[in-house]
Amino acid sequence: IKMKLSFDSNMNYFKSFLLAILVSNAFAENLRLYPRESETRDVKTLDGFWNFRVISVDDDQNIGFTQKWYTKSLESVRHPNPTGDVIPMPVPSSFNDITQSRFIRDYGGWVWYDLSFFAPLEWKDKSVTLRFGSAHYQTIVYLNGDNVLNHTGGHLPFETYVTKTLKYGESNLITVALNNILSATSIPQGSVVYKNDTKLFPKGFYEMKGNFDFFNYAGIHRHVFLYALPKDHIKDISITTDIKDTKTGIIAYKVEHSEQTSKAECVVDVLDKKGNQVSTGNKGYSGAITIPNATFWWPYTTDPNPGYQYTLRVSLTENDKTIDVYYLKVGIRTVRATEKEFLINGKPFYFRGFGKHEDANIRGKGLDLPFIAKDFNLMKWIGANSFRTSHYPYSEELMDMADETGIVVV
Protein backbone atom coordinates (compact mmCIF):
# COMPACT_ATOMS: atom_id res chain seq x y z
CA ILE A 1 0.00 0.00 0.00
CA LYS A 2 1.29 3.43 -0.88
CA MET A 3 0.29 7.00 -0.17
CA LYS A 4 1.24 10.23 -1.86
CA LEU A 5 4.86 10.86 -0.83
CA SER A 6 6.85 13.91 -1.85
CA PHE A 7 10.05 15.75 -0.93
CA ASP A 8 11.04 19.31 -1.73
CA SER A 9 13.75 19.51 -4.41
CA ASN A 10 16.36 20.66 -1.89
CA MET A 11 15.76 17.66 0.38
CA ASN A 12 18.55 15.58 -1.16
CA TYR A 13 19.73 14.26 2.18
CA PHE A 14 16.47 12.35 2.54
CA LYS A 15 17.48 10.20 -0.41
CA SER A 16 20.01 8.39 1.76
CA PHE A 17 17.21 6.91 3.83
CA LEU A 18 14.50 4.41 3.05
CA LEU A 19 11.34 5.77 4.61
CA ALA A 20 8.55 3.25 5.09
CA ILE A 21 5.47 4.86 6.57
CA LEU A 22 2.82 2.43 7.77
CA VAL A 23 3.08 -0.17 5.05
CA SER A 24 0.57 -2.94 5.60
CA ASN A 25 2.60 -5.78 4.11
CA ALA A 26 6.27 -6.75 3.93
CA PHE A 27 6.94 -7.34 0.25
CA ALA A 28 9.17 -9.96 -1.37
CA GLU A 29 9.52 -11.10 -4.95
CA ASN A 30 6.78 -13.39 -6.33
CA LEU A 31 4.59 -13.09 -3.25
CA ARG A 32 0.83 -13.05 -3.48
CA LEU A 33 -1.44 -11.23 -1.07
CA TYR A 34 -1.21 -11.96 2.66
CA PRO A 35 -3.38 -15.03 3.40
CA ARG A 36 -6.80 -13.88 4.62
CA GLU A 37 -9.98 -15.91 4.72
CA SER A 38 -12.99 -14.83 2.70
CA GLU A 39 -16.04 -16.50 1.19
CA THR A 40 -13.76 -17.89 -1.56
CA ARG A 41 -10.47 -18.39 0.34
CA ASP A 42 -9.42 -20.97 2.96
CA VAL A 43 -6.41 -20.58 5.27
CA LYS A 44 -4.88 -23.38 7.35
CA THR A 45 -2.13 -22.67 9.86
CA LEU A 46 0.70 -25.12 10.42
CA ASP A 47 1.77 -23.35 13.63
CA GLY A 48 2.28 -25.54 16.68
CA PHE A 49 4.81 -28.05 17.95
CA TRP A 50 7.04 -29.45 15.21
CA ASN A 51 9.66 -32.18 15.54
CA PHE A 52 13.15 -30.70 15.73
CA ARG A 53 16.75 -31.84 15.84
CA VAL A 54 20.24 -30.37 15.54
CA ILE A 55 23.40 -32.03 14.22
CA SER A 56 25.70 -33.29 16.97
CA VAL A 57 29.36 -32.23 17.13
CA ASP A 58 30.40 -35.77 16.14
CA ASP A 59 28.50 -35.77 12.85
CA ASP A 60 29.00 -34.14 9.48
CA GLN A 61 26.76 -31.12 8.99
CA ASN A 62 25.42 -32.65 5.77
CA ILE A 63 24.28 -35.90 7.37
CA GLY A 64 20.62 -34.96 7.01
CA PHE A 65 21.01 -34.59 3.26
CA THR A 66 23.19 -37.66 2.70
CA GLN A 67 20.79 -39.81 4.75
CA LYS A 68 17.75 -38.13 3.12
CA TRP A 69 16.01 -37.21 6.36
CA TYR A 70 13.39 -35.41 4.27
CA THR A 71 12.02 -38.73 2.98
CA LYS A 72 10.83 -39.95 6.40
CA SER A 73 9.86 -38.57 9.77
CA LEU A 74 12.71 -37.29 11.93
CA GLU A 75 11.52 -39.56 14.73
CA SER A 76 12.39 -42.58 12.59
CA VAL A 77 16.01 -41.41 12.24
CA ARG A 78 18.08 -43.02 15.01
CA HIS A 79 20.92 -41.03 16.52
CA PRO A 80 23.30 -42.05 19.31
CA ASN A 81 24.15 -38.56 20.58
CA PRO A 82 21.73 -36.82 23.00
CA THR A 83 22.13 -33.47 21.24
CA GLY A 84 20.75 -35.10 18.11
CA ASP A 85 17.54 -36.35 19.73
CA VAL A 86 14.21 -35.26 18.30
CA ILE A 87 12.44 -32.77 20.57
CA PRO A 88 9.22 -30.72 20.28
CA MET A 89 9.88 -27.21 18.98
CA PRO A 90 7.23 -24.45 18.91
CA VAL A 91 6.62 -22.69 15.59
CA PRO A 92 6.81 -19.73 15.36
CA SER A 93 9.81 -19.27 17.67
CA SER A 94 13.56 -19.09 17.75
CA PHE A 95 15.00 -22.42 18.86
CA ASN A 96 17.91 -20.98 20.87
CA ASP A 97 16.30 -20.44 24.29
CA ILE A 98 13.64 -23.16 24.28
CA THR A 99 15.84 -25.83 25.89
CA GLN A 100 18.35 -25.68 28.76
CA SER A 101 21.17 -26.70 26.39
CA ARG A 102 24.01 -24.23 25.87
CA PHE A 103 24.93 -26.20 22.75
CA ILE A 104 21.53 -25.47 21.19
CA ARG A 105 21.51 -21.86 22.40
CA ASP A 106 24.81 -21.06 20.64
CA TYR A 107 24.32 -23.53 17.79
CA GLY A 108 25.48 -22.69 14.28
CA GLY A 109 24.70 -24.94 11.32
CA TRP A 110 21.88 -27.08 9.96
CA VAL A 111 18.81 -27.86 12.04
CA TRP A 112 15.85 -29.95 10.92
CA TYR A 113 12.11 -29.58 11.47
CA ASP A 114 9.21 -31.74 10.35
CA LEU A 115 5.44 -31.93 10.78
CA SER A 116 2.67 -34.25 9.61
CA PHE A 117 -0.65 -32.67 8.61
CA PHE A 118 -3.77 -33.27 6.51
CA ALA A 119 -4.94 -31.31 3.47
CA PRO A 120 -8.75 -31.16 3.07
CA LEU A 121 -10.28 -33.15 0.22
CA GLU A 122 -12.23 -30.11 -0.97
CA TRP A 123 -8.94 -28.35 -1.78
CA LYS A 124 -8.20 -30.77 -4.60
CA ASP A 125 -9.65 -28.49 -7.28
CA LYS A 126 -8.14 -25.29 -5.89
CA SER A 127 -4.79 -23.52 -6.13
CA VAL A 128 -2.87 -24.22 -2.90
CA THR A 129 0.15 -22.25 -1.65
CA LEU A 130 2.61 -22.98 1.16
CA ARG A 131 3.83 -19.80 2.84
CA PHE A 132 6.45 -19.04 5.51
CA GLY A 133 6.26 -15.64 7.22
CA SER A 134 10.04 -15.84 7.75
CA ALA A 135 12.82 -18.23 8.75
CA HIS A 136 16.42 -17.45 9.64
CA TYR A 137 18.60 -17.81 7.61
CA GLN A 138 18.90 -20.33 4.75
CA THR A 139 15.83 -22.52 4.33
CA ILE A 140 15.18 -25.64 2.25
CA VAL A 141 11.61 -26.97 2.30
CA TYR A 142 10.52 -30.49 1.35
CA LEU A 143 6.93 -31.68 0.96
CA ASN A 144 6.39 -35.43 0.85
CA GLY A 145 10.07 -35.84 -0.04
CA ASP A 146 10.11 -33.28 -2.87
CA ASN A 147 12.14 -30.07 -2.65
CA VAL A 148 9.44 -27.44 -3.22
CA LEU A 149 11.01 -24.22 -1.93
CA ASN A 150 14.44 -22.67 -1.22
CA HIS A 151 15.00 -19.29 0.39
CA THR A 152 17.98 -17.31 1.68
CA GLY A 153 17.53 -14.44 4.13
CA GLY A 154 15.61 -13.82 7.32
CA HIS A 155 12.67 -11.51 8.10
CA LEU A 156 10.78 -11.74 4.79
CA PRO A 157 7.99 -14.09 3.71
CA PHE A 158 8.44 -16.70 0.99
CA GLU A 159 6.00 -19.09 -0.64
CA THR A 160 5.30 -21.49 -3.50
CA TYR A 161 2.43 -23.34 -5.15
CA VAL A 162 2.10 -26.91 -3.82
CA THR A 163 -1.14 -27.90 -5.55
CA LYS A 164 0.39 -30.90 -7.34
CA THR A 165 2.61 -32.05 -4.46
CA LEU A 166 -0.03 -32.21 -1.72
CA LYS A 167 -1.92 -35.39 -0.89
CA TYR A 168 -5.57 -34.52 -0.36
CA GLY A 169 -7.55 -36.30 2.31
CA GLU A 170 -4.47 -38.06 3.69
CA SER A 171 -1.35 -37.33 5.72
CA ASN A 172 1.44 -35.12 4.34
CA LEU A 173 4.97 -34.63 5.66
CA ILE A 174 6.66 -31.22 5.53
CA THR A 175 10.39 -31.12 6.34
CA VAL A 176 12.47 -27.98 6.75
CA ALA A 177 16.28 -27.83 6.77
CA LEU A 178 17.43 -24.51 8.19
CA ASN A 179 20.94 -23.07 8.51
CA ASN A 180 21.77 -19.98 10.59
CA ILE A 181 25.41 -19.58 9.48
CA LEU A 182 26.14 -16.02 8.36
CA SER A 183 28.83 -14.75 6.00
CA ALA A 184 30.40 -11.53 4.74
CA THR A 185 27.61 -11.26 2.15
CA SER A 186 24.64 -12.19 4.32
CA ILE A 187 22.33 -9.67 6.01
CA PRO A 188 23.37 -9.29 8.79
CA GLN A 189 27.03 -10.21 8.31
CA GLY A 190 28.90 -12.85 10.27
CA SER A 191 31.78 -15.31 10.11
CA VAL A 192 32.76 -18.80 11.23
CA VAL A 193 35.79 -19.17 13.51
CA TYR A 194 37.33 -22.65 13.66
CA LYS A 195 38.93 -23.79 16.92
CA ASN A 196 41.97 -25.76 15.77
CA ASP A 197 43.41 -26.65 19.18
CA THR A 198 42.32 -30.30 19.44
CA LYS A 199 43.42 -30.39 23.09
CA LEU A 200 40.62 -27.98 23.94
CA PHE A 201 38.05 -28.58 21.20
CA PRO A 202 36.79 -31.55 19.14
CA LYS A 203 38.14 -31.81 15.60
CA GLY A 204 36.31 -29.43 13.26
CA PHE A 205 34.75 -27.44 16.11
CA TYR A 206 33.72 -23.89 15.19
CA GLU A 207 31.91 -20.88 16.57
CA MET A 208 29.91 -18.30 14.69
CA LYS A 209 30.63 -14.62 15.23
CA GLY A 210 28.26 -11.82 14.26
CA ASN A 211 29.16 -8.27 13.24
CA PHE A 212 26.03 -6.72 14.78
CA ASP A 213 24.64 -5.69 18.14
CA PHE A 214 21.89 -8.27 18.65
CA PHE A 215 21.75 -12.02 19.23
CA ASN A 216 21.62 -14.25 16.16
CA TYR A 217 18.31 -15.90 16.98
CA ALA A 218 17.34 -18.58 14.47
CA GLY A 219 14.37 -20.76 13.63
CA ILE A 220 11.01 -20.62 11.87
CA HIS A 221 10.12 -17.17 13.14
CA ARG A 222 6.68 -16.39 11.76
CA HIS A 223 3.45 -18.12 10.77
CA VAL A 224 3.45 -21.07 8.38
CA PHE A 225 0.29 -21.13 6.27
CA LEU A 226 -1.34 -23.33 3.68
CA TYR A 227 -3.98 -21.40 1.82
CA ALA A 228 -6.35 -22.44 -0.93
CA LEU A 229 -7.67 -20.10 -3.61
CA PRO A 230 -9.84 -20.54 -6.69
CA LYS A 231 -7.76 -21.43 -9.74
CA ASP A 232 -8.79 -18.04 -11.14
CA HIS A 233 -7.91 -15.60 -8.35
CA ILE A 234 -6.75 -12.12 -7.33
CA LYS A 235 -2.96 -12.22 -7.22
CA ASP A 236 -2.02 -8.73 -6.00
CA ILE A 237 -3.54 -5.35 -5.19
CA SER A 238 -1.59 -2.07 -5.31
CA ILE A 239 -3.04 1.00 -3.61
CA THR A 240 -2.10 4.69 -3.70
CA THR A 241 -4.03 7.25 -1.66
CA ASP A 242 -4.32 11.02 -2.01
CA ILE A 243 -6.31 13.91 -0.53
CA LYS A 244 -8.05 16.62 -2.56
CA ASP A 245 -9.49 19.90 -1.24
CA THR A 246 -8.85 18.83 2.39
CA LYS A 247 -12.08 16.78 2.48
CA THR A 248 -12.06 14.37 -0.46
CA GLY A 249 -10.19 11.08 -0.32
CA ILE A 250 -8.88 9.31 -3.40
CA ILE A 251 -8.01 5.61 -3.53
CA ALA A 252 -6.24 4.58 -6.73
CA TYR A 253 -5.99 0.83 -7.24
CA LYS A 254 -4.45 -1.75 -9.55
CA VAL A 255 -5.41 -5.43 -9.37
CA GLU A 256 -3.30 -8.28 -10.73
CA HIS A 257 -5.12 -11.38 -11.91
CA SER A 258 -3.76 -14.95 -11.97
CA GLU A 259 -5.49 -15.86 -15.26
CA GLN A 260 -4.96 -13.00 -17.67
CA THR A 261 -6.86 -14.79 -20.45
CA SER A 262 -10.09 -15.33 -18.47
CA LYS A 263 -13.19 -13.20 -18.96
CA ALA A 264 -13.61 -12.41 -15.27
CA GLU A 265 -14.51 -8.84 -14.35
CA CYS A 266 -13.03 -6.98 -11.39
CA VAL A 267 -15.38 -5.06 -9.08
CA VAL A 268 -14.12 -2.88 -6.20
CA ASP A 269 -16.35 -1.68 -3.34
CA VAL A 270 -15.33 0.50 -0.39
CA LEU A 271 -16.72 -0.10 3.11
CA ASP A 272 -16.39 2.16 6.12
CA LYS A 273 -15.37 0.99 9.59
CA LYS A 274 -18.96 -0.04 10.40
CA GLY A 275 -19.27 -2.10 7.23
CA ASN A 276 -21.44 0.42 5.37
CA GLN A 277 -20.79 0.80 1.65
CA VAL A 278 -19.46 4.24 0.75
CA SER A 279 -18.60 3.41 -2.87
CA THR A 280 -19.92 0.50 -4.94
CA GLY A 281 -19.65 -1.07 -8.35
CA ASN A 282 -16.28 0.32 -9.41
CA LYS A 283 -15.35 -1.90 -12.37
CA GLY A 284 -11.97 -2.54 -13.96
CA TYR A 285 -8.57 -3.89 -12.93
CA SER A 286 -7.34 -0.34 -12.32
CA GLY A 287 -8.99 2.91 -11.44
CA ALA A 288 -9.46 5.66 -8.86
CA ILE A 289 -12.27 5.91 -6.32
CA THR A 290 -13.32 9.30 -4.96
CA ILE A 291 -14.78 9.48 -1.44
CA PRO A 292 -16.40 12.83 -0.52
CA ASN A 293 -16.12 13.92 3.13
CA ALA A 294 -13.71 11.08 3.76
CA THR A 295 -12.33 10.17 7.16
CA PHE A 296 -8.56 10.32 6.87
CA TRP A 297 -5.89 8.22 8.54
CA TRP A 298 -4.22 10.23 11.32
CA PRO A 299 -1.35 9.31 13.64
CA TYR A 300 -1.98 8.57 17.29
CA THR A 301 -2.03 11.72 19.50
CA THR A 302 -2.93 13.96 16.52
CA ASP A 303 -6.64 13.13 16.16
CA PRO A 304 -9.47 11.75 18.35
CA ASN A 305 -9.95 8.92 15.82
CA PRO A 306 -6.41 7.78 14.88
CA GLY A 307 -5.63 4.96 12.47
CA TYR A 308 -8.96 5.07 10.61
CA GLN A 309 -9.16 2.52 7.80
CA TYR A 310 -11.62 1.76 5.06
CA THR A 311 -11.96 -1.75 3.66
CA LEU A 312 -11.66 -2.48 -0.04
CA ARG A 313 -13.70 -5.47 -1.16
CA VAL A 314 -12.13 -6.64 -4.39
CA SER A 315 -14.14 -9.25 -6.31
CA LEU A 316 -13.69 -11.27 -9.48
CA THR A 317 -17.00 -12.10 -11.15
CA GLU A 318 -18.02 -13.91 -14.32
CA ASN A 319 -21.60 -14.23 -15.60
CA ASP A 320 -22.88 -12.76 -12.30
CA LYS A 321 -21.05 -15.47 -10.34
CA THR A 322 -18.45 -14.53 -7.71
CA ILE A 323 -15.13 -16.27 -8.38
CA ASP A 324 -12.82 -14.71 -5.78
CA VAL A 325 -13.01 -12.04 -3.05
CA TYR A 326 -10.25 -10.31 -1.07
CA TYR A 327 -10.68 -7.72 1.70
CA LEU A 328 -7.94 -5.12 2.13
CA LYS A 329 -7.82 -2.36 4.75
CA VAL A 330 -6.71 1.06 3.52
CA GLY A 331 -5.99 4.31 5.35
CA ILE A 332 -6.29 7.50 3.28
CA ARG A 333 -3.26 9.75 3.89
CA THR A 334 -0.45 11.75 2.30
CA VAL A 335 3.15 12.29 3.39
CA ARG A 336 5.38 15.22 2.47
CA ALA A 337 8.75 16.49 3.70
CA THR A 338 10.08 20.03 3.40
CA GLU A 339 13.39 21.45 4.53
CA LYS A 340 11.95 22.18 7.97
CA GLU A 341 8.89 19.96 8.43
CA PHE A 342 7.50 16.48 8.00
CA LEU A 343 3.84 16.63 6.99
CA ILE A 344 1.12 13.99 7.24
CA ASN A 345 -2.12 14.99 5.48
CA GLY A 346 -0.62 18.45 5.08
CA LYS A 347 -0.10 19.02 8.80
CA PRO A 348 3.27 19.09 10.63
CA PHE A 349 4.13 15.85 12.42
CA TYR A 350 6.65 15.53 15.24
CA PHE A 351 8.09 12.04 15.75
CA ARG A 352 7.86 10.96 19.38
CA GLY A 353 8.77 7.36 20.07
CA PHE A 354 11.44 4.68 20.23
CA GLY A 355 13.91 2.49 18.40
CA LYS A 356 12.62 -1.09 18.42
CA HIS A 357 13.70 -4.72 18.01
CA GLU A 358 11.78 -7.93 17.41
CA ASP A 359 13.41 -9.61 20.39
CA ALA A 360 11.98 -11.18 23.55
CA ASN A 361 12.87 -13.71 26.20
CA ILE A 362 12.32 -17.41 25.42
CA ARG A 363 10.75 -16.95 21.96
CA GLY A 364 13.65 -14.81 20.64
CA LYS A 365 12.59 -13.31 17.31
CA GLY A 366 9.56 -15.58 17.03
CA LEU A 367 6.27 -13.84 16.25
CA ASP A 368 4.35 -13.27 19.49
CA LEU A 369 0.95 -11.57 19.19
CA PRO A 370 0.52 -10.91 22.95
CA PHE A 371 3.98 -9.31 23.01
CA ILE A 372 3.07 -7.10 20.03
CA ALA A 373 -0.19 -6.04 21.69
CA LYS A 374 1.64 -5.18 24.92
CA ASP A 375 4.27 -3.13 23.05
CA PHE A 376 1.61 -1.04 21.33
CA ASN A 377 -0.31 -0.52 24.55
CA LEU A 378 2.90 0.65 26.22
CA MET A 379 3.61 3.08 23.38
CA LYS A 380 0.10 4.52 23.60
CA TRP A 381 0.30 4.69 27.42
CA ILE A 382 3.50 6.73 27.31
CA GLY A 383 2.21 9.01 24.54
CA ALA A 384 4.43 7.79 21.69
CA ASN A 385 3.23 8.12 18.11
CA SER A 386 6.04 6.36 16.20
CA PHE A 387 8.94 3.93 16.31
CA ARG A 388 12.00 3.18 14.20
CA THR A 389 12.56 -0.38 13.01
CA SER A 390 16.01 -1.71 13.79
CA HIS A 391 17.98 -3.35 11.01
CA TYR A 392 15.41 -5.67 9.34
CA PRO A 393 11.82 -5.86 8.02
CA TYR A 394 9.23 -6.47 10.74
CA SER A 395 6.33 -8.90 10.58
CA GLU A 396 3.25 -8.13 8.52
CA GLU A 397 1.14 -8.67 11.63
CA LEU A 398 3.04 -5.95 13.50
CA MET A 399 2.79 -3.54 10.56
CA ASP A 400 -0.96 -4.15 10.37
CA MET A 401 -1.23 -3.34 14.08
CA ALA A 402 0.68 -0.09 13.52
CA ASP A 403 -1.69 0.84 10.72
CA GLU A 404 -4.74 0.07 12.85
CA THR A 405 -3.57 1.98 15.93
CA GLY A 406 -2.13 5.01 14.12
CA ILE A 407 1.52 4.42 14.98
CA VAL A 408 3.97 5.77 12.39
CA VAL A 409 6.79 3.40 11.40
CA VAL A 410 10.17 4.61 10.12
Q: What is the 3-state secondary structure (H, E, C) of 284-346?
A: CCEEEEEECCCCCCCCCCCCCCCCCCEEEEEEEEECCEEEEEEEEEECCCEEEECCCCEEECC
Q: Residues 268, 224: contact at Cβ < 8 Å?
A: no
> What 3-state DSSP class applies to 68?
coil
154, 146, 64, 74: which is closest to 110 by C-alpha?
A: 64
Whether the pLDDT of residue 285 is over 60: the answer is yes
> What 3-state DSSP class applies to 58?
coil
Q: What's the mean per-residue pLDDT of the chain?
A: 89
CATH class of the structural domain 234-335: mainly beta
Using alpha carbons, list the distances in angstroms from residue 396 to 7, 116, 377, 393, 399: 27, 26, 18, 9, 5
What ranges in 77-232 are assigned the alpha helix state H?
Answer: 102-105
Whether the pLDDT of residue 189 is over 70: the answer is yes
- Which residues 6+ apart lie within 8 Å of 68 measured at CB? none
- Looking at residue 15, what is its pLDDT? 35
Average pLDDT over residues 284-295: 96
Strand arrangement of the beta sheet that strand 110-118 belongs to: 87-91, 48-54, 110-118, 171-179, 138-143, 146-152
Domain 42-180+216-229 CATH superfamily: Galactose-binding domain-like (2.60.120.260)
Domain boundaries, the chain: 42-180+216-229, 234-335, 351-409
pLDDT digits (tens, 9 = 90+) for 316-360: 999 989 999 999 999 999 999 999 999 999 999 999 999 999 989
Whether the pLDDT of residue 197 is over 90: the answer is no
Whether the pLDDT of residue 396 is over 60: the answer is yes
Cα distance between residue 17 and residue 379, in whole Å: 24
46, 31, 237, 271: which is closest to 151 by C-alpha?
A: 31
